[in-house]
A and B are shown apart, each in its own frame.
Chain A
């Protein structure tokens, strides 16, 4: 069954800092649907590496600024 991913992200914050970019705008720029952006933001979908890098490129930041994954000592 589907389980929530342990990957977290700061897309909502990054959108806010990028002139309050809408989910629809981000979706258009990375070539996915608005629903997929919503699912990624809410942690219901882990995007492919390609889409993850595209998101980082849109905001002009390294991948680790967008997505984080807890290490073995972080629980």
Chain B
């Protein structure tokens, strides 16, 4: 497994874990708080989102340090230079992910037109971005394993 493949796997796992926690928190907040009120919605989303972003950054830093240590131990150096295959995998996976994001954005537009509150539309948009990122990561791993 190359550096970028390991990096993709780590960030995919981190994204699923951290945003899984985030959306669980949002559902719990929606049940107990008057999230239809815009001000309340911002006050409840902001701290959880801040923790989520901080956790993702921490996971990214720790994961890449561990990957670098493993690579140096096994191969003597870190092959962290992106070559043409990495770029091709990235491009093809980005295409798959962007399709999901486009469909999600349309869904959010429909939600806005049909009167959903800011709390739900903001989280739906974030959900579409996260799902797009997850789909991209899954396809990256697929292309790395099965060929591009």
| Chain A contacts to B: CB under 8 angstroms | 1-5, 24, 31-36, 39, 43-45, 47-48, 51
Contacts and interface: CB of A to CB of B under 8 A. Distances in A.
Contacts, number: 49
Interface stretch (B18-26, B35-43, B83-91, B104-112): B83-91
Interface residues of B, number: 18
Contacts of B88: 45
A45 B79 contact: no
B86 A45 contact: no
21 contacts: A2-B143, A2-B147, A4-B147, A5-B147, A24-B75, A32-B83, A33-B79, A33-B86, A34-B2, A34-B75, A35-B2, A35-B5, A35-B79, A36-B2, A36-B83, A39-B85, A44-B146, A44-B148, A45-B85, A47-B84, A48-B84
Nearest to B76: A24
Interface of B: 1-3, 5, 75, 79, 81, 83-86, 88, 142-144, 146-148
